[in-house]
Amino acid sequence: MARSPRLSEAERKLWNAFPTGETVELAPVATGPGTTAGQKAPKDGDTWGPDRTIRAEVIASLLLGAREAAPGSVAAVRLRGARITGSLSILGGRVEHELALGGCHLDEPVLLTATTTRTVRLIDCALPGFSGGGMRVAGHLSLSGSHITGTVRLARAVFESGLWLGGVRLTADDVWALSAGSMVVESGATFRDADITGGVRLAGSRVNGDLNFEGATVRNPGGHAIRADDMVVEGAVHLTRGFTAAGCVRLRGARVSGTLSVNGVLSSPDTPYALHASHAEIRELYLKPSTPVDGVVNLTYARVGTLQDDPATWPEKLRLNGLTYDRLRGSGVERRVEWVARDPEGFRPQPYEQLAAWYLRDGNDGLARRAQLAKLRARRRTQGPGQRAWGRLLDVTVGYGYRPWLAGVWFALLLLAGTVAFGLNPPRPLKPDEAPVFDSFAYSFDLLLPLPTFGQREMFDPAGWTQGLAYGLIVAGWILATALIAGATRVLRPQ
């Protein structure tokens, strides 16, 4: 057994307990569930006296092998209710023992950068920061219930089990409260009921389980609440059960193999987007926030298997250009045309075409035609005066070809008008001896059709105001025929 250095009474207790992994209780600590994040972390630890004080160097020396395990036991540092002075620094070291601190107050940040270690648990502790960039943990890291006033740095860290920050309270002294880019978690990562002031950076990270933010609050107004560009989550992502983000939730290029559930509060009116998931790949997107999103939602060029949402919480501004999906679920199926028309940058054809294609796959041919018609009407508003006039004519007469029955309605109304007018004011025959019996219905029909059918048009000559009516019916007939052909051509040609 290694000779012990000069130790205080509290340090001696820890030194003697280490070989068997026994927990050293220096004072009772709070137990049971807390009502707020970090509530059970000590608030007056800097006033604790020598009977509860242990130097960080003593803990570091034990973790680095100052004592061996007792036969048949697993050595570990397990300590509750202590004030730890000095810097707990094991930069680049290799630790073969678990570190478990509960209800402790640490005067200085924990420094485990590039360290290889076993499970690390700092539960219900108060500390001014945690640096574990590049660390590798054969187990899990838990900071649950702790109050950390500096940045937690876990960039490029690897956790062979989970990452547990449930109920943690992070108060950043920087833009990022948690900086964990390119981190790997072989199991799940949880931030359940966390209270975070500052951003959470997870860009390029990989979680081979669920990423859980249930009940968490993340505040970084004007910046990123969560930035997880190109992140890979093999399970589900939960932004649910009271989750609140003040700042942009950015998932650009992320891949979620399970369900991305959003039913909390997203508010970021001072950034370009409240939810930015462009170019993401998501198996199922459940987008039903508890209140309408305060800000722009960007799903451009994302690929979604099933998208489920609620018209009651559709954001006012929604970018969908390039979004593809296999299935749409939720109420408001017939209102999807309104959904795709919310792009703040104006008309984009692809969202309408994607919606029409989905309607067809779902067996809603009528709604598919409605989506295509809405696309053409929206496009018309972006065109010049001449194109707008021609487009309006096509719309009124045949619904751009998607409502050909309108041409029949117009034809019937014009035919009725001509039949009545010419019945009351019949035209004179050009050749009385050869003219057939005048029929106002057949005569009006002949005028409306571009090609003569009943032979009445050539045999009679209207006079006065009925002559103008005859010319009007001829022109109207040509317009209807042209519009019908143009509309049919538009509908039948490949999109």
Which pLDDT score, from 0 to 100, does residue 1 have? 46
Helix (H) / strand (E) element for 246: namely strand 244-250
Measured CA to CA in angstroms, residue 100 lies from 11, 17, 87, 401 at distances of: 15, 13, 16, 72
Instruction: Write down the pLDDT at residue 445.
Output: 75
Write the DSSP assignment of 371-416 as a string of letters: HHHHHHHHHHTTS-HHHHHHHHHHHHHHGGGT-THHHHHHHHHHHH
**Alpha carbons 493 and 495: distance in angstroms, whole number:** 6
pLDDT of residue 380 exceeding 90, the answer is: no
Neighbours of 138 (CB within 10 A): 15
Q: Counting runs of H as helices and runs of E as strands, what totals does the chain give? A: 9, 36
Phi, psi of 8, deg, nearest 5:
-75, 175
Q: Which of 197, 194, 309, 222 is nearest to 261 (CA)?
A: 309
Considering only CA atoms, give the Rg of the chain: 37
pLDDT in tens, 438-466: 778 887 777 777 776 666 776 777 877 87
Q: Whole-angstrom Cα distance, residue 110 to residue 147? A: 13
Q: pLDDT tens digits for 88-127?
A: 999 999 999 999 999 999 999 999 999 999 999 999 999 9
The answer to whether 315 and 296 are in contact (CB under 8 A) is yes
| Percent of the chain at pLDDT exceeding 70 | 88
Work out the pLDDT band at 494, boundaries 50, 70, 90: very low
Neighbours of 485 (CB within 10 A): 12
75 close to 52: Cβ distance less than 8 angstroms: no
pLDDT in tens, 52-80: 999 999 999 999 999 999 999 999 999 99
Asked if residues 262 and 238 have their Cβ atoms less than 8 Å apart, the reply is no
Where does 188-266 have alpha helices with state H?
none
pTM: 0.82
